[in-house]
């Protein structure tokens, strides 16, 4: 029997009004960081219902995304909606590992000061970190104590800016223990 391909395959999905060029830039940047196959899909219309504050429940968006078929096949949506989950004021992103899906919101990743070019650069960098973070959760990684690791929990933009767009050595070891990397014959 042919061995199952163990490479991670990540599809980024621009949702509703999320800018596709930015999503493509996120894919291009992440391809230089992780050895994964990363593609972008055409925009997906999801139009979830917002609450009274105009916020959208991240889980509603996740249920609209196509499910990954296998552990290493993931989908991460990128949206402009301000996302929330119960008991939190807002979230930068959320993941449903059981569906192999994650979602990231650009809404609170934007800078309010600086030149347009600097703001765009900061938004791209933060979006890359949050996408890698949610993809990490889909791959069963938990929050990391190392504040420079992309799996560190971001409560503020300061936290997001402090971490690198990369997994720390400990998280890389955890990733290497994914089911598809474990030889079933051993
Ligand atoms: Zn997290
Ligand atoms: Zn880590």
Domain ranges of the chain: 9-176
CA distances from residue 64 to 21, 58, 102, 133 in whole angstroms, order as listed: 22, 10, 11, 20
Please tell me the number of the ligand nearest to residue 97's CA.
1
Dihedral sign (CA 161, 162, 164, 170) = negative
Specify the pLDDT at position 2.
43
48-98 residue pLDDT tens: 888 888 899 999 999 999 887 777 899 999 999 999 999 999 999 999 999
Ligand 1 centre distance from Cα of residue 2 (Å): 35
Q: Which residue has the tokens 């991240």?
A: 58
Q: Average pLDDT in the 132-152 region?
A: 97
Specify the pLDDT at position 3.
47
CATH architecture of 9-176: 3-Layer(aba) Sandwich (3.40)
Specify the pLDDT at position 181.
62
CA-to-CA distance for 175 and 31, rounded, in angstroms? 17
Catalytic pick from 67, 125, 130, 134?
134
Residue 140, pLDDT > 80, answer yes
Ligand 2 centre distance from Cα of residue 179 (Å): 19
CA distances from residue 9 to 3, 27, 42, 137 in whole angstroms, order as listed: 16, 12, 16, 14
Clarify whether 98 is annotated catalytic.
no
Ligand 1 centre distance from Cα of residue 134 (Å): 6
Residues 6+ apart with CB under 8 A from 179: 71
Specify the pLDDT at position 180.
65
57-66 residue pLDDT tens: 999 999 999 8
């Amino acid at each position: 029997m042919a061995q199952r391909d163990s490479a991670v395959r990540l599809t980024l999905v621009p949702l509703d009004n999320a800018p596709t060029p930015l999503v493509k830039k996120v894919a291009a940047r992440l391809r230089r960081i992780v050895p994964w196959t990363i593609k972008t899909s055409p925009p997906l219309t999801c139009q979830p219902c917002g609450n009274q504050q105009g916020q959208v429940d991240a889980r509603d968006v996740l249920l609209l995304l196509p499910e990954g078929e296998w552990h290493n096949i993931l989908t991460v949506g990128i949206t402009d909606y301000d996302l929330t989950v119960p008991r939190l004021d807002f979230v930068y992103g959320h993941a449903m590992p059981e569906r192999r899906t994650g979602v990231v919101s650009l809404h609170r990743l934007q800078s309010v000061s600086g030149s347009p070019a600097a703001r765009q650069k900061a938004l791209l960098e933060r979006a890359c970190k949050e996408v890698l973070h949610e993809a990490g959760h889909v791959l069963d990684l938990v929050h990391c104590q190392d504040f420079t690791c992309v799996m560190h929990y971001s409560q503020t933009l300061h936290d997001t800016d402090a971490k690198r767009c990369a997994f720390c050595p400990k998280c890389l070891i955890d990733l290497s223990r994914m089911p598809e990397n474990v030889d079933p014959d051993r």
